[in-house]
Amino acid sequence: MRPDYAAILETIHAEVQPLIGQGELAGYIPELAKVPIERFGMAVYRLDGTVHSIGDAAARFSLQSVTKLFALALAFSREGDAIWSRVGREPSGNPFNSLVQLEYERGIPRNPFINAGALVITDILTSRFVQADLAVLQFMQMLSNEPGIDFDQAVARSERATAHRNSAMAHFMKGFGNLHNDVDRVIDNYCRQCSITMSCVELARAGSFLAQHGTVPWSGVKVLERSPAKRLNALMLTCGTYDAAGDFAYRVGLPAKSGVGGGILAVVPGEATVAVWSPGLDANGNSLVGTYALERFTDLTAQSIF
């Protein structure tokens, strides 16, 4: 029997209230520290096009690392398995912006969702497209059917001005020959990509191809073949929620990608995508309320991959 999504979202909305305000904003990007911590939105996009949403689900927020999923999908669709010669597929066991692992793994990042791996993906896109940042934006506009989606220039500038760790990682990888373009150009593209804003409703729609074997349900456009779509979901499950992917799988049980803007996109294969946003982060950088909301979602709907 199909779950009553509307009623379940109402229940979750009530249940998260005591947690709202907990966690920390991503203050290391100064512009993100200005976002009101009490915001909460959630949207379910079913593959038949039905949308259910609650709270601030129509408000746009900074996607940050959630965009790594779309950049990877774009690079994977163009370059295929060639990307795996430059980035791994294992959980890192380290924070998303850690430098130490790169040293002993000789400039090959553990996976495409930690910052170093995402910088390699941005480098691949920088080689492939005249303007890699625009290529990712246009890809996401197409997937969400929202031509108005855009960069947040203030957030992009704010991250660019403080991108010391990411620049260090990029230089380091260039030292190992695993970054082909100019470091500043790659960092520019990366910061702009991370600044893209979307609402939960838009994000859930944009990710829906992941729930349907790589094909966008509402347009029929094949973004990825079945097999790469399966592999992307596997990477989300094992590496998509920072150094907490094990705990996230235990609690939520869905492939997901989070970002330090407080957004999480989760995939219910064959059924729906779920986007949640609440900017207070837990110690690992995942939305504290968002993770709890997804945990309750899979409990109440009995829809997890396990």
Q: Point out which residues bind ligand GLU (CB under 6 A).
A: 64-65, 96-97, 115, 159, 166, 194, 259-260, 285
Q: Which residue is nearest to ligand GLU (CB)?
A: 65
- Set 183, 223, 260, 276: catalytic member: 260
- Set 190, 252, 276, 287: catalytic member: 190
Least Å distance, CB 56 to ligand GLU, is 19
**Rounded distance between C-alpha atoms, residue 272 and residue 49, angstroms:** 9
Q: Identify whether 260 is a catalytic site residue.
A: yes
Name which of 74 and 260 has its Cβ closer to ligand GLU: 260
Least Å distance, CB 166 to ligand GLU, is 5
Show contacts of 159-163: CB within 8 Å, 24+ apart. Answer: 159/29, 159/31, 159/191, 159/194, 159/195, 160/187, 160/188, 160/191, 162/28, 162/29, 162/30, 163/187, 163/190, 163/191
Amino acid at 154: A
Q: Identify whether 68 is a catalytic site residue.
A: yes
Name which of 122 and 215 has its Cβ closer to ligand GLU: 122
Least Å distance, CB 200 to ligand GLU, is 16
Name which of 115 and 144 has its Cβ closer to ligand GLU: 115
- Set 68, 199, 267, 268: catalytic member: 68
Least Å distance, CB 125 to ligand GLU, is 15
Q: Which helix (H) or strand (E) holds 189?
A: helix 183-194
Least Å distance, CB 284 to ligand GLU, is 10
Q: How far is CA 247 from CA 9, 97, 113, 124, 231, in A?
A: 23, 19, 17, 31, 20
CA 104 to chain CA centroid, Å, is 27
**Rounded distance between C-alpha atoms, residue 285 and residue 52, angstroms:** 26
Name which of 75 and 281 has its Cβ closer to ligand GLU: 281
Q: Which helix (H) or strand (E) holds 157?
A: helix 153-161
Q: State the Cα torsion 103-107-109-114 to the nearest 10°.
A: 70
- Set 5, 45, 242, 292: catalytic member: 242
- Set 53, 62, 65, 144: catalytic member: 65
Q: Identify whether 190 is a catalytic site residue.
A: yes
Q: % helix / strand / coil in the chain, to the nearest 5?
A: 50, 10, 40
Name which of 146 and 159 has its Cβ closer to ligand GLU: 159
Give the active site residues.
Answer: 65, 68, 190, 242, 260
